[in-house]
Amino acid sequence: MKPEEKIILGLDPGFGRTGYAVLTGSKDAPRLIDYGLIETAADLKQAKRLALVVQRVEKVINLHHPHIVAVEKVFFASNTKTALQVGEARGALLVTLEKYKLPILEYTPPQVKLAVTGDGKADKKQIQKMLQLIFHLPQPIKSDDAADAVAIALCALSRQVLDTQIVLN
């Protein structure tokens, strides 16, 4: 890694499934370091599920030492219960990121889609295909949530205004 390259952690917050991705490099030569999915069992209590998501994200932070975190903004939700749960997971993660003093960038789904595919209305398959091409992956990323996290991190990397677009600190 070059000294001027930043490590970016991308997060797609969710209650039952949180995607994460770690990237570095530049807009023209991004490198995918790690990605995955944090899942919690539906039969666990709400607080336990949130605690597990936080613990697993902390492991990723401690392993990769990101400089910046890119998080998906909640854009809209048709299901109120799901929206509340995503909001709770997102809130728990934002508190965790503050604990680590990590700068946070936020992007809406259309911003992410536009950055990755050139189309702010792209579907998940288009995003996954572009990620496969960009990172020379043998197959598309299987988990939508993990793919979204990679796309969110790539959006932050491609914006090239990391130091001026920090919205939460």
Percent of the chain whose pLDDT exceeds 70: 89
Residue 169 has pLDDT above 50, yes or no: no
Whole-number pLDDT of residue 86:
82
Mean pLDDT over residues 130-138, rounded?
97
**CATH topology for 8-159?**
Nucleotidyltransferase; domain 5 (3.30.420)
Between the CA of residue 93 and those of 4, 26, 125, what are the distances in Å? 27, 26, 27
**Proportion of the chain above pLDDT 90, given as a percent:** 76
HSE-CB at 8 with a 13 A cutoff on CA atoms is 34
Residue 2 confidence (pLDDT): 66
Annotated active-site residue in 4, 98, 106, 145? 145
Mean pLDDT, range 42-65, rounded to an integer: 97
**Across residues 24-33, what is the average pLDDT?**
92
Is it the case that residue 76 has pLDDT exceeding 90? no
* pLDDT at residue 142 greater than cutoff 60: yes
Contacts of residue 70, Cβ cutoff 8 Å, sequence gap at least 6: 8, 9, 10, 11, 104, 105, 106, 107, 152, 153, 155, 156
Predicted local confidence at residue 15, as pLDDT: 85
Q: Residue 17 is encoded by which pair of tokens?
A: 């499934």
Which one is catalytic: 4, 5, 12, 144? 12
Spatial separation of the C-alpha atoms in residues 169 and 139, rounded to whole Å: 36
Q: Provide Rg for the chain, Cα atoms.
A: 15
- Placement of tokens 């666990």 in the chain: 44
Question: What is the biggest distance separating any 2 CA atoms in the chain, rounded to whole angstroms?
Answer: 45
Predicted confidence at residue 104, as pLDDT, reads 95
Q: Look at 164 and 58; give whichever has higher pLDDT.
A: 58
| Digit-coded pLDDT (tens) for 81-112 | 777 888 889 999 999 999 999 999 999 999 99
Please tell me the distance from the alpha carbon of residue 11 to that of residue 145, in angstroms, as a whole number: 9
Distance CA 154, CA 70 (A): 9
Q: Give one DSSP letter per residue of 84-123, joined into a string.
A: HHHHHHHHHHHHHHHHTT--EEEE-HHHHHHHHHS-TT--
Q: What is the pTM of this model?
A: 0.91
- Domain locations in the chain? 8-159
Please classify residue 128 by burial: count the beta carbons closer than 10 Å to its beta carbon, then call 0-12 exposed, 13-18 middle and 19+ buried: buried
Is 123 among the catalytic positions?
A: no
- Based on the residue annotation, tell me whether 144 is a catalytic residue of this protein: no
- Tokens, residue 10: 């991308």
- pLDDT, average across residues 106-125: 94
Task: State the pLDDT at residue 73.
Answer: 86
Q: Which residue has the higher pLDDT, 77 or 148?
A: 148
